[in-house]
């Protein structure tokens, strides 16, 4: 599943192709994604494209009369291709641009979404989200205060979008390893000082992943068709049984919230 760095990489990839352009028309081959494609999106015609932003895993595209929210779901992707490019089986929506290119939405599993709001930045899918992990509002003090009396594992705690957005399975594992915190430790039994280290680790890991172009996953590559390269830097994710890059002990495999977790029994306490 594309995580925050992959979504941000996609935003950075498509923005130069959309900036200053107009959507001439929308070609809709499959309306039923996770939810039906919004009528306002299907009816776009000669619409100037405004800024392209991101909130959590949603891409936000300003358009006349409102804002389009795009979510890649589990297997979705966006590509900029020439207008004459024939569609594939899972190419569900084309946004035909006045440049002679198209922004093509592809989603084999159809868990993605194309939603609409008349009030940019406001939508039920956005209203209860926590701060962005790279913004000043996200701090170790926030994690410490919100974690008090919580028994849940710290890994599932930091993956809760109400606490902080965008810390998915891959980056939760990497951040906890960098901070030296065991993923099963109860969130309410971690000190303020350790949460400061964890918040900084989350920022560092996500910033590195964005700079590297996102992690290469089976269903993801960048908007220009090139894969991300952060997978080459992963310390623990997907490396169960391999030597810990810090102490050399075999990395262990656990499960939190029905998601696999790789960690080091020695380095993470």
List the catalytic residue out of 11, 57, 79, 155: 57
Report the C-alpha gap between 213 and 9 in whole angstroms: 6
109 known member of a binding site: yes
Catalytic annotation on 64?
A: no
Contact 52, 14 (CB under 8 A): yes
Q: Return all residues near 172 (Cβ < 8 A) that are at least 6 apart.
A: 155, 158, 159, 183
Q: Return all residues near 104 (Cβ < 8 A) that are at least 6 apart.
A: 78, 79, 80, 81, 85, 87, 91, 93, 94, 95
Report the C-alpha gap between 140 and 226 in whole angstroms: 35
List the catalytic residue out of 25, 55, 110, 259: 259
Scan for tokens 């701090």, then name that residue.
139
Catalytic annotation on 19?
A: no
Catalytic annotation on 57?
A: yes
Catalytic annotation on 6?
A: no
List the catalytic residue out of 3, 8, 40, 174: 3
90 known member of a binding site: yes
Scan for tokens 């599943």, then name that residue.
1
92 known member of a binding site: no
Task: Detail the residues annotated as belonging to a binding site.
Answer: 90, 109, 150
Task: Detail the residues annotated as belonging to a binding site for DNA.
Answer: 90, 109, 150
Catalytic residues: 2-3, 57, 259
């Amino acid at each position: 599943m594309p995580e925050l760095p992959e979504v941000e990489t996609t935003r950075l990839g498509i923005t130069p192709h959309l900036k200053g352009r107009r959507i001439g028309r929308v070609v809709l081959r499959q309306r039923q994604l996770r939810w039906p494609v919004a009528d306002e999106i299907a009816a776009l015609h000669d619409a100037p494209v405004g800024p392209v932003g991101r909130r959590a895993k949603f891409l936000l595209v300003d358009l006349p009369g409102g804002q389009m929210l795009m979510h890649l779901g589990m297997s979705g992707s966006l590509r900029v291709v020439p207008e004459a490019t024939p569609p594939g089986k899972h190419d569900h929506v084309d946004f035909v641009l006045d440049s002679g290119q198209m922004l093509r939405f592809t989603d084999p599993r159809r868990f993605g979404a194309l939603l609409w709001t008349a009030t940019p930045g406001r939508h039920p899918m956005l209203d209860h989200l926590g701060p962005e992990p790279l913004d000043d509002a996200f701090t170790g003090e926030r994690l410490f205060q919100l974690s008090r009396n919580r028994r849940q594992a710290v890994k599932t705690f930091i993956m809760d979008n109400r606490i902080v957005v965008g810390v998915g399975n891959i980056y939760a594992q990497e951040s906890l390893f960098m901070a030296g915190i065991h993923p099963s430790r109860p969130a309410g039994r971690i000190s303020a000082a350790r949460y400061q280290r964890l918040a900084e680790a989350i920022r560092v890991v996500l910033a590195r992943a964005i700079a590297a172009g996102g992690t290469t996953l089976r269903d993801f590559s960048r908007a220009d068709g090139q894969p991300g390269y952060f997978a080459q830097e992963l310390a623990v994710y997907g490396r169960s049984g391999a030597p810990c890059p810090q102490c050399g002990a075999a990395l262990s495999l656990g499960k939190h919230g029905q998601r696999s977790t790789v960690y080091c029994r020695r380095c993470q306490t």
